[in-house]
Amino acid sequence: MRRTTATVLVLGAMLGTVAVLAVAAPAGAVDDDRAAANATLTSGETYCEGQKAFFGAPAESANATYRAVREDIGGVGEPAREIELDGNATAVVPTSGLLGNYTLRDGDGNPVLVNDSGYETGTGNASDAAWEVLDCSFRSAFVRSQVVVDDGGEQVVLSVETSDDDAVLLRSDRLDDDTLAALAGGTVTDDGARVAVEDDRVVFDFPATFACRTGDYAFTVEGNTTGAETTAGIQVATNRETDVSLDESTLTVDRGDTATVGIRSRCEPAARVEIDGADFDAGVGLSTTRENDLVELRLGTDSAGSASATALFDPGPDATVETADINERPESDALPPGEYDLTVSGPDGRTDTGELVVRDVSTPTATPTPGPTTPTGAPTPTVAPAVTPTVGATPTPTPTPTATAADRATPSPTATAIESATPTTSRGPTGTATTGQPGFGVAVSMLALVAAALLARRP
């Protein structure tokens, strides 16, 4: 027996229910009852108890009475239900209270064959004309009635009991399909967010943004195969406190630059910022998305004296300027240097205060006094490199001749002094210049020769 798995087309967006894909109705027939149905009667198909199936007969059967008969109780059973066709020969066949195999029989008691568009095509055998109704148990409920969402988000399980569904379609009046798909890890379809059912459960992962979206949420849960529907609800709560505050207690900006005032908003839908000083008094009312914690309000200090109130303040993409007013303007176009009070407040009356400091950039800053420098053009003294004196070569001693017998008999000559008008300079072993007496070097040499000769004559 064929199941509706192959032919079910969910029309939740149009009908809010489930119906089998239908082809064009025969000429002259009008599908007045199709909008009231959530399925299409077809021979050989299976339905869940409680579904409402559309049926259409030939035009000549308008206003006729058909009967739904259970076929699996002693042959041809008693009529389980009478079906009254309208003037268009169409009707809705309710299956509530029906369980088992059934045929739809015409006024003559013949089983009628029904195509997949829900229209009668003739009569035939009961086995060919029959369709089945099952008890499709389908229940869903959250395991907790409340989920508390904090800055880290929170998960909760939706329990799903179904006999023939491996996925469900989710819909909610408070949430769009994209948000539902993100919550339950599903995909967006034309009929809602489709989410797979694993181990009879669907996990909802509420992000931290739901701390700012508390309240009761109701979900329609529909079996993707059976088309059975149920509802489940949960309350979203939070421990977070709503608050607005300044991101910085002191904001410093140069005159003529743009001041960016950071506003921290925790689940507050609106905030008002006021700037007050000796030369300037203005305020701006903002509406936020409630889910953005930081709003950056920009104030152009270069046009405080001329810009309109709405043009002076720019809240960026995370907020919208609802009201803006300037009660006092400076005489100059730019905001004068000085200190200005900042105040931010929320709808509940909570406030936070700070300060805007505008600096005067025209005041020169002190520069360090330079140290002494060398006058331009003055010669730079140079230091002569140290000179290492060159050590003269040591004179090679003259070899002493060996004395002969004749030499030993001849007396040594007497040294003759050599006079010189110019003193001679010689260098010692370390290269230090020394001044000697005239002829002193020759005399020393002669004495050395005499000494050598005397030593040679000794026995």
Q: For domain 138-237, is the CATH number 2.60.40.10?
A: yes
Does the structure show a pLDDT above 50 at 410?
A: no
pLDDT tens digits along 132-190: 998 877 889 999 999 999 888 999 999 998 767 789 999 999 999 999 999 999 999 99
Please answer whether residues 41 and 118 qualify as being in contact, where contact means their C-beta atoms are separated by less than 8 angstroms. Answer: yes
Strand segments, DSSP code E, in 71-137 are: 79-84, 90-94, 100-105, 112-114, 120-123, 131-134
With CA atoms as reference, report the closest residue to 271 among 325, 343, 328, 212: 343
Mean pLDDT in residue range 400-410: 45
Residue 276 is predicted with a pLDDT of 95
Residue recorded with tokens 């489940």: 232
Q: Which of 1, 6, 2, 19 is nearest to 229 (CA)?
A: 19
Q: What percent of the chain stands above pLDDT 70?
A: 70
Q: What are the angstrom distances between the C-alpha of 411 and each of 366, 403, 406?
A: 100, 12, 10
The ranges of the chain annotated as CATH 2.60.40.10 are: 138-237
Pairwise CA distance, residues 160 & 163, whole Å: 10
For the chain, percent of residues with pLDDT exceeding 90: 50
Pick 4-134's CATH classification: 1.10.860, 1.10.150, 2.60.40, 1.10.10.
2.60.40
User: Quick one: which H or E segment has residue 452?
Assistant: helix 440-457
What is the pTM assigned to this prediction?
0.48
CATH topology of domain 243-359: Immunoglobulin-like (2.60.40)
* pLDDT value for 226: 72
Return the structure tokens found at 428. 């010692």
Q: Which residue has the higher pLDDT, 9 or 30?
A: 30
The residue among 229 and 359 whose pLDDT is bigger is 359
Calculate the average pLDDT of the chain: 78
Q: Are 113 and 43 in contact (CB under 8 A)?
A: yes
What are 318-347's pLDDT values in tens digits?
889 999 999 999 999 999 999 999 999 988
Q: In what order do the strands lie in the sheet with 138-142?
A: 138-142, 154-162, 201-206
Tens digit of each residue's pLDDT (9 = 90 or more) over 373-390: 555 554 555 544 454 444
